[in-house]
């Protein structure tokens, strides 16, 4: 079969909406499972060691540069501009614009990453001479010993290795936007899958056949995944047509449009990325393994978030835009807004219940093997419990932001984001300090008089770092609390714009349904928890089979009881035909659909 015949068969397959929707969905599920296995491998082979902490911290600065220059530009600007050029049928201008975007983006990345490369030793020395890091890694300034230098050099080397990844991913992401604009989805769906495959295969290969690499094996595996992501997207462009790339810095009006569209989004992402970078380095100072625990717990909690705020809300976003312009009083918009909000509550509550009740089995089954110890399992599961509110809050925040975008309001989400990041930083510092006195807090509950006398000290704990590993739990709690404030504020400001609160008061079923869902969730939690505890007493939980059986029984009780208690809500708010119809529409290219892998493995 010739190259042209292969290309035509792929184009024919991509033209079938239902087939390509099923394909994308299947590939996405496989990718998520591989992502789980990837995290399992890292936990199993490297545990929550100092080296694993340094590996995760080494991603912070490359991630920051990548998010600012690439994610903001691709998600906000490239697809709309490419589609505009395509509609005019000007292939020459499209190729020139593509070449110019790649040239400018690659040049900017090379310049910034080059600065990072040469300044990394100075940045690392500054980090490792801070009191918090010295304490966390049990080092001392009095000893410019091999131990101190080993961790500094390791951080420098891993960070420098990771600088290669943003270069390839920047070009690969532009290719992805180009393919999306042409309604070519196979390569863009396969690229994240091969990214995870590369990491999994790389970790397995290097650990088995080159154990002397140690934690460097993780970086080499990420680079292998990055290369596969780049190759997959490149093949997609080649299959689309013969495109001769040439370096071009000719700035036409479309390149200017891309810059104008991307700047606000880049600024917004910069604010969000600041919080992520801050949380990473704060976790780095909380003790050996704390950052690894934080990353493992957050990864587990974000899986259902991706399914809710990613898949579901992306499908509904076009309809939200249509409703926003149907009438002046936003009645139809509010109807869709509240219907989706209730649906998010309906779907998120049982997941939150299961994550809280089964937090230890989840961590044990996904991470608990090899070098991932029982102590690490307990701390990670405790941290995961404080991350679980994010499952609902992140989805609500994403829905509110999309509603603002639908009414052409981009300033308010930016203000909310800035405030949220500020609160994130303040709460994270305060609650990491507070929970670092976890054992002292438990001791203060010995008696009422002791607790009352300890109140001045308890309040002072917000400003003084203790020694308990519970500090990482405080980081999770601070993030969840700041997100709760952000959601409440976005809801209030959105109500001022479209009258969503007044709409809910007039149609009382909104608040009645939410109350029913919350109380159903509470009762479901009680039933699930009692089932789990009873099964825990009856079976030997040292065996994996028993853990799987207990977890399965708990899930069955949770789903059955919650479905029964909310049966009327499910009947009124879950329309299977409508969901399937929406999934067919999902293959239409939209900038927010582009899956750009984060650098962090």
pLDDT tens digits for 116-131? 999 999 888 888 776 6
**What integer pLDDT is reported at residue 487 of this predicted model?**
93
**What integer pLDDT is reported at residue 580 of this predicted model?**
47
User: Would you say residue 600 has pLDDT above 90?
Assistant: no
Query: What gap in Å lies between CA 319 and CA 333, rounded to an integer?
Result: 9
Write out pLDDT tens, residues 332-375. 888 888 888 888 899 899 999 999 999 999 998 888 777 888 88
**What integer pLDDT is reported at residue 201 of this predicted model?**
92
Query: What gap in Å lies between CA 552 and CA 317, rounded to an integer?
Result: 34
Quote the percentage of the chain above a pLDDT of 70.
Answer: 82
**Which residues fall within 8 angstroms of residue 524, CB to CB, at 6 or more apart?**
349, 350, 353, 558, 561, 562, 565
| Nearest one of 369, 65, 392, 99 to 244, comparing CA atoms | 99
Per the listing, tokens 């951080």 go with 155
User: 408 in the Ramachandran plot: left (φ > 0), alpha (ψ -120 to 50) or beta?
Assistant: left
Average pLDDT over residues 9-16: 50
Q: Give the residue, 544 or 484, on which the prediction is more confident.
A: 484
**What integer pLDDT is reported at residue 310 of this predicted model?**
62
User: Would you say residue 236 has pLDDT above 90?
Assistant: no
Q: Give the residue, 136 or 214, on which the prediction is more confident.
A: 214
**What integer pLDDT is reported at residue 351 of this predicted model?**
94
Average pLDDT over residues 238-249: 69
Query: What gap in Å lies between CA 508 and CA 516, rounded to an integer?
Result: 13
Write out pLDDT tens, residues 494-537. 888 888 888 777 777 788 888 999 999 999 999 999 999 999 88
**What integer pLDDT is reported at residue 331 of this predicted model?**
80
Average pLDDT over residues 542-567: 90
Confidence of residue 586 (pLDDT cuts 50, 70, 90): very low
User: Would you say residue 571 has pLDDT above 80?
Assistant: no
User: Would you say residue 539 has pLDDT above 60?
Assistant: yes
User: Would you say residue 14 has pLDDT above 60?
Assistant: no
SS3 sequence, 504-522? HHHCCHHHHHHHHHHHHHH
**What integer pLDDT is reported at residue 595 of this predicted model?**
52
Which span out of 56-70, 234-248, 401-415, 420-434 was modeled with the highest average pLDDT?
A: 420-434
Query: What gap in Å lies between CA 19 and CA 207, rounded to an integer?
Result: 39
Query: What gap in Å lies between CA 65 and CA 279, rounded to an integer?
Result: 16
| Nearest one of 563, 278, 292, 564 to 428, comparing CA atoms | 278
**What integer pLDDT is reported at residue 587 of this predicted model?**
44
User: Would you say residue 592 has pLDDT above 60?
Assistant: no
Tokens describing residue 16:
């079938």
User: Would you say residue 402 has pLDDT above 50?
Assistant: yes
Which span out of 6-15, 125-134, 442-451 was modeled with the highest average pLDDT?
A: 442-451
Using a 10 angstrom Cβ sphere, with 0-12 exposed, 13-18 middle and 19 or more buried, the burial of residue 316 is buried
User: Would you say residue 488 has pLDDT above 90?
Assistant: yes
Average pLDDT over residues 254-282: 79
Mean model confidence pLDDT for the chain = 81
Q: Give the residue, 197 or 444, on which the prediction is more confident.
A: 197
User: Would you say residue 49 has pLDDT above 70?
Assistant: yes
Confidence of residue 437 (pLDDT cuts 50, 70, 90): confident
Show me where the domains of the chain are located.
Answer: 50-285
**What integer pLDDT is reported at residue 144 of this predicted model?**
46
Confidence of residue 147 (pLDDT cuts 50, 70, 90): low
230-244, 363-377, 460-474, range with the lowest pLDDT = 230-244
Query: What gap in Å lies between CA 190 and CA 192, rounded to an integer?
Result: 6
Burial 332-370 (b: 16+ CB within 10 A, else e): ebbebbbbbbbbbbbbbbbbbbbbbbbbbbbbbbbbbbe
User: Would you say residue 259 has pLDDT above 60?
Assistant: yes
Residue 506's CB is within 10 A of a number of other CB atoms, namely 11
**What integer pLDDT is reported at residue 517 of this predicted model?**
92
Query: What gap in Å lies between CA 47 and CA 177, rounded to an integer?
Result: 37
Confidence of residue 190 (pLDDT cuts 50, 70, 90): confident
Hey, is 498 helix, strand or coil?
Answer: helix
Tokens describing residue 90:
């000007």
Tokens describing residue 40:
């399992």
**What integer pLDDT is reported at residue 480 of this predicted model?**
94
Tokens describing residue 6:
């292969």
**What integer pLDDT is reported at residue 303 of this predicted model?**
81
Query: What gap in Å lies between CA 392 and CA 101, rounded to an integer?
Result: 37
CB under 8 A, 24+ apart: contacts of 529-538? 529/357, 531/557, 532/357, 532/358
Tokens describing residue 505:
């008061």
> Alpha carbon of 388 to those of 143, 350, 384, 557: distances in Å?
41, 11, 6, 20
Instruction: Give the end-to-end CA distance of the chain in Å, rounded to a whole number.
Output: 37
67-76, 115-124, 170-179, range with the lowest pLDDT = 67-76
């Amino acid at each position: 079969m010739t190259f042209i015949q292969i290309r035509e068969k792929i184009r024919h397959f991509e033209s079938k909406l239902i087939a390509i929707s099923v394909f994308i969905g299947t590939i996405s599920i496989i990718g998520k499972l591989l992502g789980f296995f990837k995290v399992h491998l890292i936990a199993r082979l490297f545990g929550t060691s100092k080296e694993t902490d340094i590996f995760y911290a080494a991603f912070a600065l490359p991630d920051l540069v990548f998010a600012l220059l690439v994610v903001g530009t691709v998600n906000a600007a490239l697809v709309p501009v490419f589609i505009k050029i395509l509609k005019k049928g000007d292939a020459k201008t499209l190729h020139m614009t593509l070449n110019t975007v790649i040239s400018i983006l690659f040049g900017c990345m090379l310049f910034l990453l080059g600065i990072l490369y040469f300044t990394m030793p100075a940045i690392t020395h500054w980090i490792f001479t801070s009191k918090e890091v010295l304490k966390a890694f049990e080092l001392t300034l009095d000893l410019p010993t091999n131990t101190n230098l080993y961790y500094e050099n390791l951080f420098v080397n891993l960070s420098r290795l990771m600088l290669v990844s943003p270069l390839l991913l920047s070009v690969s992401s532009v290719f992805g936007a180009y393919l999306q604009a042409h309604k070519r989805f196979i390569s863009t769906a396969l690229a994240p899958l091969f990214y995870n495959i590369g990491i999994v295969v790389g970790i397995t290969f290097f650990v088995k056949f080159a154990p002397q690499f140690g934690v460097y094996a993780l970086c080499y595996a990420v680079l292998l995944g990055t290369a596969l992501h780049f190759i997959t997207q490149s093949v997609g462009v080649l299959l689309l047509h013969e495109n001769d790339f040439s370096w071009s810095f000719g700035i036409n009006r479309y390149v200017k449009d891309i810059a104008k569209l991307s700047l606000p989004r880049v600024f917004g992402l910069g604010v969000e990325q600041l919080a992520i970078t801050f949380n990473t380095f704060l976790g780095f100072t909380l003790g050996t393994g704390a950052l690894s625990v934080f990353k493992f717990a957050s990864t587990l909690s974000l899986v259902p978030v991706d399914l809710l705020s990613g898949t579901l809300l992306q499908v509904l976003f076009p309809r939200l835009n249509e409703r926003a312009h149907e009438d002046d009083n936003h009645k139809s918009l509010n109807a869709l807004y509240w219907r989706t909000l209730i649906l998010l509550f309906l779907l998120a509550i049982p997941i939150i219940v299961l994550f809280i009740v089964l937090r230890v089995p989840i961590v044990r089954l996904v991470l608990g093997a090899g070098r991932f110890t029982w102590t690490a399992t307990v701390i990670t599961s405790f941290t995961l419990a404080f991350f679980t509110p994010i499952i609902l809050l992140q989805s609500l925040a994403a829905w509110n932001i999309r509603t603002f975008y639908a009414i052409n309001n981009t300033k308010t989400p930016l203000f909310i984001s800035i405030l949220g990041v500020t609160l994130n930083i303040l709460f994270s510092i305060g609650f990491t300090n507070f929970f670092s006195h976890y054992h002292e807090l438990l001791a203060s509950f010995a008696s009422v008089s002791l607790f009352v006398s300890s109140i001045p000290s308890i309040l002072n704990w917000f400003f003084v770092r203790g020694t308990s590993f519970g500090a990482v739990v405080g980081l999770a709690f601070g993030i969840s609390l700041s997100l709760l404030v952000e959601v409440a504020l976005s809801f209030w400001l959105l109500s001022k714009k479209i009258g969503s609160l007044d709409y809910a008061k007039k149609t009382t079923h909104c608040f009645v349904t939410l109350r029913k869902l919350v109380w159903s969730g509470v009762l479901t939690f009680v039933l699930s928890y009692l089932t789990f505890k009873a099964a825990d007493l009856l079976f030997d939980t040292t065996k994996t089979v028993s853990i799987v059986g207990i977890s399965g029984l708990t899930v069955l009780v949770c789903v059955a009881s919650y479905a029964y208690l909310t049966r009327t809500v499910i009947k009124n708010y879950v329309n299977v035909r409508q969901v399937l119809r929406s999934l067919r529409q999902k293959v239409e290219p939209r900038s927010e659909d582009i899956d750009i892998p984060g650098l962090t493995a």
